Amino acid sequence: MDLSSVLSGFAVAFEPQNLLFCLIGVTVGMLIGVLPGLGPAATIAILLPITYSLEPTAAVIMLAGIFYGAQYGGTITSVLLRMPGEASSVVTALDGHALARKGEAGPALGVAAVASFIGGTASILLLTFIAPALAGAALAFGPAEYTVLALIGIFLVGTLGSGSLWKSAAAAALGLLIATVGLDPILGTPRFTFGTDQLADGIDFTIVAMGLFGVGEILYNLEHRDRPQPAVPAFGRAIPGRLHWLRSRAAILRGSVTGFVLGILPGGGATMSSLVSYAVEKRVAKDPSRFGKGAVEGVAGPESANNAAATSSFIPLLTLGIPANATMAVLFGALMLQGITPGPGLMTEHPDVFWGVVNSMYVGNLLLLALSIPLIGVFVRMLKVRPGVLAPLTVVITMLGVYSIRNNAFDMLLVIALGLLGYGMRKLGFEPGPFVLAFVLGSLLEASFRRSMRIFGGDVTEFVQRPVSGSLVAVLVLTAVIVPVLRKVRTRQSGAAEQPAAQ
């Protein structure tokens, strides 16, 4: 690890412009976390056109802040209203709201804020030491290795969706199909363009992201606009007592480690990390019956885990160029739009971007800790804004943003079509996440595979015979055994979380 690059990254992170955009990012992220439904992936997709006019480092710092800021924003409504703003905060609602009903909303939110800070900061420290080693090893990767890596990413994400296996696989397959629209990357011949020059360059990632995550999510959430809003309990002082800390400290440590490890895995992410952490805490507890009735460990563990996972999910994106979840896929597109290719060369070709973004997370976590409690009242009042007012404004901003990219009305029609597709997918239980990730990895998979076959003279067995790609193939085969087990665990934990929530 080059210590001078790390230190120069702090200089980049503390530039006034980057500090401002870090503040904007975490504040918007908290806001989005509070509002159920929209999510960080949709928000980042909607804001992509704005980043065109920003410096690459400032743009990515802001978008990254939205992602990890949203993890804590969802905690506020989970504790106070039992309305998780983010999927990763569903488990927090079980014991967090139970504490609020006991008059301990303040300590619950205080523990959540500190746990989020510790989990996120610990994950950044580990990222700082692990990422350079991983990037150095990845420099030896060729087309064969990237082919298998892309397959692993698509396989894991397609099978770790919260829907059924075949629906996740079908969504991923559709994403791969859409990725082939445009000119052949090797021969230059048009494919699936239907005779129109508008599709000759393929479908831009921004259009796909804004359609599926932006318009699609808005249409889907409008169906629930008449949902009654529960009363907000008083949260009082947010300083936890000594007993809270004694019960939380081990849970925070375990949650940080769990979140960091699972966040690196494609398809793992903050939601799975929080579920696994909750299961771990319940298993190691001397009195498991306390969980669901106000156990502070049920808040501390999942909150440290989901923030640690949000940070560690940057490792495969920045070092290997493989997005670990849907939001990372959108960030992948944001970097590409800035002319920066995520992967092994990022640390050497753009060290200011790499270390500037990583070190800005220290600042972002401090800002979240400082802002979380004072802004609770403001964010909760925002829930009173009717979706019927908020949704049209968001759609207008989305359409203006996509038109501003190329001043092309055809792009707006594509966004509407993809938005309807995203809405239909959600209605039928197909998640858009595997679709978008497969779309992003599809180009890498096709180009790498075809180059590999040319190098190997058409001999597929070369993938197994090469040391690195052969090892990755073994990992791919191993995941075929492990992933079904992980799905069962996740389904079981989700069922356990839904039963107390329904009571």
Encode pLDDT of 115-156 as tens digits: 888 988 998 888 888 877 776 666 667 788 778 877 876 776
Nearest-5° Cα angle at 228, 31 to 164: 75
| pLDDT greater than 80 at residue 378 | no
Residue-wise pLDDT for 403-453, tens only, equals 766 778 888 888 899 989 988 988 888 877 778 778 877 877 888 888 888
**What's the burial of 148, exposed, middle or buried (CB within 10 Å: 0-12/13-18/19+)?**
buried
Structure confidence by residue, pLDDT tens digits, 182-218: 888 777 788 888 878 888 878 877 688 778 867 887 7
What's the pLDDT score for residue 341?
81
CA angle 496, 502, 503 (to 5 degrees): 100
What is the rounded CA–CA span in Å between residue 15 and residue 415?
36
User: For residue 23, what pLDDT is reported?
Assistant: 92
Angle (CA) 422 427 433, round 5°: 45
Contact of 34 with 85, CB cutoff 8 Å: yes
Rounded Cα–Cα distance for residues 212 and 385 (Å): 23
Asked whether residue 3 carries a pLDDT value surpassing 80, the answer given is no
Nearest to 259 by CA among 418, 37, 71, 438: 71
Measure CA 172 to chain center: 17
- Amino acid occupying residue 86: E
Pairing of strands 182-183, 190-191: antiparallel
Query: Hey, what are 434's tokens?
Result: 């595997």
Distance CA 86, CA 274 (A): 11
Task: Give the rounded percent of residues in the chain with a pLDDT score beyond 70.
Answer: 79
CA–CA gap between residue 367 and residue 69 (Å, rounded): 9
* Mean of all residue pLDDT scores within the chain: 78
Which of 179, 132, 128 has the alpha carbon at shortest distance from 329?
179
pLDDT(82) > 90:
no
Q: How confident is the model at residue 229 (pLDDT cuts 50, 70, 90)?
A: low
- At 183, give phi and psi (nearest 5°): -85, 140
Helix 326-337 vs helix 432-456: angle between axes, to the nearest 10 degrees?
A: 60
pTM above 0.85, yes or no: no
Are the beta carbons of 368 and 72 closer than 8 angstroms? yes
Which of 26-40, 63-77, 296-310, 325-339 is the least confident region? 26-40
Query: Phi and psi (nearest 5°) for 315?
Result: -60, -55
